[in-house]
Amino acid sequence: MLLTGQIKWSALMLAMVISSLCLALPLDKDRKALIRKEEMLQIGGKLLLTKQEELANEKLMALKNAEIAQAMKTSQFPPSMHFFRAKKLIEESKVFHVLKKMPKGAALHLHDFGILSVDWLVRNVTYRPHCYLCFTPRGNLQFKFADPAPPTPKPEDCSEWILLKKYRGQLQNVTEFDNSLLKNLTLVVDNPELAYSDQAIIWARFENIFITVAGLVHYAPVFREYFARGLQEFYEDNVQYLELRATLFPVYELNGKTHDKEWSLKTYQEVAQKFAKDHPDFIGARIIYSYHRRKNVTYIAESVQAAMKLRVKFPETMAGFDLVGQEDKGHSLWELKEALILPTTQGFDLPYFFHAGETDWQGTSIDENVLDALILNTTRIGHGFALSRHPVAKNISLNRDIPIEVCPISNQVLQLVSDLRNHPAASLMSSGHPMVISSDDPSIFGAKGLSYDFYEVFMGIAGVKADLRILKQLTLNSIKYSSLSADKKQTTKEIWQKKWDKFVHDLAEGKKL
């Protein structure tokens, strides 16, 4: 069937023609130059590695190539699988273990209550005295610490408060109960496609988890400790600095007294400063005050005003302002423009860090957020998932050097893309678009720190050939595009460089990382 017996040219004649061509194909040089040009355009493509970095790179690429060859054979390639299924495979990856040890610079896109693995919340916080629990009519949990017991909620809001200590005392299997609590604090399930049939459902659940966690974390003693432990978790993942989107909702005391935004911000500042003092190889944290995009323009204007006041009062910690919540369901930035241009009209410098383009719905007013964020002078673009479909916005972002904050696992879990090789950051990366990698809400996705997201980028989004250069550049980007002052950036870079050199040395020498 396959042309047998139909060969008209003798194999010998062809072999002669072919071998004569082999020697000097005029195209070979041009082709190499074009491929080299593409390699140079890729993020990090222009970096010159030191000798030791080259050695480290060889080691790293040997691991990467082996894992990719294996994945091609088994069709088990973590970046093309749902993270909930890929996680175990990732944890077995040698590349992942290298990435964990790599100093990653800054984590710039994180939310207040998604930075710390939830174990501690269940196994420690819910065991503290005066911890109450209720169930909403939709089956979600709410927590509260109070003494005396908090007033009974309206039945349409929540069940009666149950004192956890008492409740656990009546249970036969406390471990099972605690495990069920854990499940209520993350999105992780065995079969995500079945559990979350569409974006509306997973976003509703996602926002409910924040409400559940908030009941625990807004309790003043926990608030302080949660943040310190969150910093610790990122520190242990070799992150040197972080920026946190924080809603600054009222933090409460046992007696019901609540604290205002200033108190929260001050607490964040104190905790971060203490942590940095105790860990001289950690720079600290800054806060991006964030308000819900579903609120109307009057409330948004109020929050912008609040942000300006906070920025005056906490110049060291208060980095700027953002809007949070599901973009597709909230107001577009343009609908809120009267509130968002207040600082400009008042001649006040309030940096914006707008979420924009976290949507698959191209061509809606929400999808225009990527352009509007730039028009409204954003400092970075949160996600920017839609940016590659906006050639004008893309050019502005490139020319003004406004980076996107790419959070691969978040985008996958929240159903913007399934196979991460199809993440739109792939094409942006290949042309060197400014970007940083972050993890959004790692604890809620069952991840931790930045390493899982770096793994998805390095193995999946950036392609097979991507090497140490892209990792180095993305890490340098995270410092460059942070909101830190020039001085602090310099200090961070020095700290990072020292760690980087050690990391490279250990990798090059084949030391157990």
Instruction: Specify the amino acid at residue 268.
Output: Y
Q: How far apart are CA 400 and CA 424, in angstroms?
A: 20
Instruction: Give the largest CA-CA distance in the chain.
Output: 96
b/e sequence 354-389, b meaning 16+ C-beta within 10 Å: bbbbbbbeeeeebbbbbbbbbebbbbbbbbbbbbbe
Please report how close the Cβ of residue 61 comes to a copy of itself at its closest, in angstroms: 11
Please report how close the Cβ of residue 31 comes to a copy of itself at its closest, in angstroms: 5
Nearer to a copy of itself, 74 or 172 (CB): 74
Check residue 149 and report its DSSP letter.
P
Nearer to a copy of itself, 406 or 495 (CB): 406
Nearer to a copy of itself, 17 or 174 (CB): 17
Please report how close the Cβ of residue 93 comes to a copy of itself at its closest, in angstroms: 18
383 carries an active-site annotation: yes
Please report how close the Cβ of residue 421 comes to a copy of itself at its closest, in angstroms: 5
Please report how close the Cβ of residue 137 comes to a copy of itself at its closest, in angstroms: 18
Q: CA torsion, points 424, 429, 433, 439, in degrees to nearest 10?
A: 70
Nearer to a copy of itself, 247 or 492 (CB): 247
* Catalytic-labelled residue, pool 233, 243, 327, 358: 358
Check residue 257 and report its DSSP letter.
-
Q: How far apart are CA 370 and CA 424, in angstroms?
A: 14
355 carries an active-site annotation: no
Give Cα separations from 389 to 380, 382, 394, 395, 407 (angstroms): 18, 16, 8, 11, 18
Give the start-end residues of each E strand in 220-333.
241-246, 251-252, 258-259, 284-292, 318-324
Which residue, among 154, 38, 47, has the nearest Cα to 477 in the 3D structure?
47
* Catalytic-labelled residue, pool 383, 390, 423, 433: 383
Which residue, among 165, 161, 162, 164, has the nearest Cα to 153 in the 3D structure?
161
Nearer to a copy of itself, 90 or 333 (CB): 333
Just list the catalytic residues. 358, 383
